[in-house]
Amino acid sequence: MRFNLLVLFVLLSQYGWAQKSWKTFTSEKGAFSAEFPADPQVTSVNRPSPEGYNVKINLHMASVEGGGAAYVIYNEFPSGYTIQDDSVYLREVANETVARMNLDTSNIQQITFDGFPGRKFYSKIKDVVTDMRVILRTNRTYIIAGVFPNKRKDDLTRFMSAFKFTPYKKAEWTRHQFTEYSFSADFPGEPTLDESEELGLKVYSGNDANSGNNYAVSIEEYSKYDQYESDSALLAVRAQAYISGYDSLIQEKDVVIDGQPAKELILYQSKSHTQMRVLTFARGLIGYALFTFLPPSQIHGAEANRFFESFKFIGKPTSNLLSDKSALLLKDIASKDTAIWKPAAAAFRDYAFKEKDVEAIHNLIKQSFSDDREPEGSRKTIMFEALENIASEKSVTFIEKIFPTLSINPSLEFAALKALSEIGTKPSLAALAKLLAKHKPIAGGEWDYTFIFTPYRIDSASQKFFFQNTIKYLPAKEYKVGLYMLAEHLLENKTLSIAELSAHKKLIVQDFQADSEVYLRDSTYQSLYYLIEILGYEPQAPAEIATLKKLTYSFDEYLSATAVTTLFRLQQTPDAARVTELARNLTTRVSFFSDLHEYSLEQKFPKPYANQDSLAIGEFYDYLVGEYDDAGDFHVEIAYKTELVYEGAKKKFYVMRFHDPYEDATYLGICGPYTTDKLMVWGGLTNSDFAKDTGKAYKVYLDNYLKSLEEVE
């Protein structure tokens, strides 16, 4: 949140005040004490933040003899607002404050004050010296600053050094009942309601007006169709919703709250000064989560414990999230009332139907519905998706018989074909191959049909059987991508020989040239990746070699690397400068090496980058790009490397550091393990955990990380 609320113009408007003696000032409400060079003036202003929050700014100002001012400012956020990431918040507050004073923001430094994170700034310009601290005390920001004449810099030091935090005044807690959602709980102050349509949550937040700490209960209403296998499965899903958003899980334990099974979590983002304490559970059709953000020293404190221990249920629960909802869904989705069948159809898509439900779904598909001709999302399409998920052999004969009636809507036919594909047995694949001849492909659905032609989970023999029965459909534009994808897969695992494609060689080359022409013109493609790789299995004519060389300079660098690899496979010589560029580029380094390794062509990888250090940096960069949207701007380097005995063999590990320019901070991560006798990529433990780089103790960091893995196991 940007802190653009400071009324800094007062600094320069107070220079004419008369100087008085130093005063010790203590604010019970502000929970601080300070020595001012005069009686401070105390004022408060309310300002809206850029996000629309109303923030109260409390200012304490005193003049300085000879011109200047000393001040302490703290803010009060509204109920429900919590600063969760101190590094972003503090950087923006400090930068904007200094920028508004027309001073150099590059002099801002990170500090810790009384255990809380902050920023400091010091500047001397002509006859004026400026000192500033920005401290984030849990959920309240303090700015302590002075602008003093240079001849009085000792007084500035006195003012800055005298500032201290004092204990917050204790909040007044009261019990509140929420009859609509069947619970009561203690809150500090009057709870406010915040509704999130996007998340489908209602959150009641109580704010401690003294400290700014928030205590909240979120309410999630389940559908009458929702079902979980057990309390533990339900709690695992609820807990994961919080765990997935945080870097570290400190604690997870099973507890009971007012007789109901629950999960308690303690989490943190290591860039944040706070920990999050969560208690999550459900009763009836309502899911609850109690949560707060506090420093580690307060996360199990008396006030936090009071909040979490105060929760009680009111009244009796409705329905049961553990009961079977299949009969209800099957009945409601067939209703003629849209208010009934539309919610049922939405739930039907995600419901875990079982083998016992197959016959009932078959009987529903036999019926006629008002939306049978809808191009997308018809009820029958959703029913076929259920059959796809069940993958029952019983559906093979049924789909063959029902297929002629589906011709009223190609989308229904497509849904039936997908269900056969997912069953994945030879009888289902034989039926699928036969019905494809009767199906009119949906225009523009090239990528949709790849699902049908890539049944990778079945055995290789069945994949080849299916391919041999569908290669005749290669002229159909909508089927090409899937068929070429499957062909390349079978060639790669040596289930198919290139000779078995000889009858289609002319069409393959034509498609390659046509796709290349489109790609080189407008950077779009369909089957080009797979066609490039297929061409590498046998010698090619000069025209194809020339096109491959053009593709090595393509906009898509991964495609360029694939084209270079294919040229090497064909014993051709791509441009050496381009090969070096692909190896040097962190975006393509690892994938390019992997492509060459797949065809035993590692010797073609440029030597300056053909070492484990280089590949480890490339892999770590790949990992960061997959995890963080702005990772393209990160600088990655090796902080430490070593060889350790890991899982019974000597392995190489790296501690990597990466600098985030937006955070202006450097963090650490692990890369590896790799064998010591050959070059490797894709170490199984590669990660970043946002531990800050201290510039030392890298071995301890690595040892502790590996030890933590042993403890988890």
pLDDT digits (tens, 9 = 90+) for 508-544: 999 999 999 999 999 888 899 999 999 999 999 999 9
Q: How far apart are CA 392 and CA 412, in angstroms?
A: 18
The pLDDT assigned to 296 comes to: 85
pLDDT of 449-469, one tens digit each? 888 887 556 777 889 999 999
pLDDT digits (tens, 9 = 90+) for 321-377: 999 999 999 999 999 999 999 999 999 999 999 999 999 999 999 999 999 999 989
Q: Tell me phi and psi for residue 128, to 5 degrees.
A: -125, 135
Distance from C-alpha of 179 to C-alpha of 604, rounded to nearest angstrom: 71
The more confident residue out of 99 and 341 is 341
Q: How far apart are CA 708 and CA 167, in angstroms?
A: 36
In tens, the pLDDT along 180-205 reads 999 999 999 899 998 876 678 899 99
Taken in order 34, 40, 45, 49, the sign of the CA dihedral is negative
Average pLDDT over residues 560-587: 96
CA distance 340 to 338: 5
Closest alpha carbon to 45 in 5, 89, 1: 5
**Among candidate residues 405, 508, 530, 423, the one with its CA nearest the CA of residue 466:** 423
In DSSP notation, 365-414 reads HHS--TTTT-SSS-HHHHHHHHHHHH--THHHHHHHHHGGGGGG-HHHHH
565: left (phi over 0), alpha (psi -120 to 50) or beta: alpha
Tell whether the model's pLDDT for residue 5 goes beyond 60: no
Q: Is the pLDDT of residue 1 over 50?
A: no
Number of other CB atoms surrounding residue 682 within 10 Å: 12
Which residues, 6 or more positions from 391, have their beta carbon under 8 angstroms from its beta carbon? 419, 422, 423, 424
Give 226-280 pLDDT, tens digit per residue. 999 999 999 999 999 988 877 688 899 999 999 999 999 998 866 567 889 999 9
Check residue 711 and give its pLDDT: 53
pLDDT (tens digit per residue) in 491-514: 999 999 999 999 999 999 999 999
The dihedral sign for the CA sequence 365, 368, 374, 379: negative
Is 250:275 a contact under the CB 8 Å cutoff?
Answer: yes
- State both tokens at 300: 């199990």
Point out the least confidently predicted range of 204-218, 284-298, 695-709: 695-709
**48 half-sphere exposure, CB direction, 13 A CA radius:** 3
Tell me what pLDDT residue 272 has: 67
Neighbours of 520 (CB within 10 A): 15
Domain 10-165 bears CATH identifier 3.30.70:
no
- The pLDDT of residue 713: 47
The more confident residue out of 414 and 8 is: 414
Residues 605-616: what's their mean pLDDT? Answer: 96
Percent of the chain scored above 70 by pLDDT? 94
Q: How confident is the model at residue 712 (pLDDT cuts 50, 70, 90)?
A: very low
- Selection from 266, 278, 267, 285 nearest residue 311 by Cα: 278
Going along 584-676, which residue ranges are E strands? 635-646, 649-660, 665-675
Average pLDDT of the chain, as a whole number = 89
Look up residue 690 and give its two tokens: 């946002």
Radius of gyration of the chain (CA): 33
Does the fold of domain 173-313 match that of domain 10-165?
Answer: yes
Q: What are the structural domain ranges in the chain?
A: 10-165, 173-313, 324-440, 497-610, 613-712
Q: How many helices (H) and strands (E) does the chain have?
A: 23, 24
565 pLDDT more than 60 = yes
pLDDT, tens only, 41-93 = 999 998 887 667 788 899 999 988 778 899 999 988 887 777 766 777 788 88
Residue 644: how many other CB atoms lie within 10 Å: 15
Rounded distance between C-alpha atoms, residue 402 and residue 361, angstroms: 13
Spatial CA neighbour of 586 closest among 555, 556, 609, 562 = 609
Helix axes 576-584, 557-569, angle to 10 degrees: 130
Query: Which residues partner with 385 through β-bridges?
Result: none
Across 95-200, the runs of DSSP E, i.e. the strands, are: 109-113, 116-125, 128-137, 140-149, 164-165, 173-178, 183-188, 192-196
Query: Minimal CA–CA distance to 181: which of 290, 325, 80, 82?
Result: 290
Q: Which residue has the higher pLDDT, 341 or 118?
A: 341
CATH of domain 173-313: 3.40.1000.10
Query: What SS3 state is found at 119?
Result: strand
The whole-angstrom separation of Cα 624 and Cα 129 is 42
Tokens of 65: 């003899």
* Residue 366, token pair as written in the block: 């036999």
pLDDT at 483: 95
For residues 55-90, b (16+ Cβ closer than 10 Å) or e, as one string?
bebbbbbbbbbebbbbbbbbbbbebbbbbbebbbbb
Helix (H) / strand (E) element for 42: namely strand 41-48
What long-range pairs does 635-639 form, CB within 8 A, spacing at least 24?
Answer: 635/659, 635/661, 636/586, 638/613, 639/668, 639/693, 639/698
What value, to the nearest 5°, has the Cα angle with vertex 280 and ends 278 and 284?
A: 160
> Is 90 exceeded by the pLDDT of residue 387?
yes
- Alpha-carbon distance of 396 to 428, in angstroms, equals 6
Percent of the chain topping pLDDT 90: 64
Instruction: With a cut of 70, say whether residue 20 has pLDDT above it.
Output: no
> Which helix (H) or strand (E) element contains residue 481?
helix 480-492
Of all residues in the chain, what percent are helix, strand and coil, respectively (each to 5)? 40, 25, 35
Q: What is the rounded CA–CA span in Å between residue 39 and residue 61?
A: 8
Residues in Cβ contact with 151 at an 8 Å cutoff, skipping those fewer than 6 apart: 66, 127
**Hunting for tokens 């302590």 — which residue is that?**
144
pLDDT of residue 4: 35
pLDDT at 9: 36
Beta bridge partners of 613: none
Cα separation, 22 vs 44, in Å, equals 23
Helix (H, G, I), strand (E, B) or coil at 670: strand
3-class SS at 653? Answer: strand
Sheet holding 173-178, edge to edge: 173-178, 183-188, 312-313
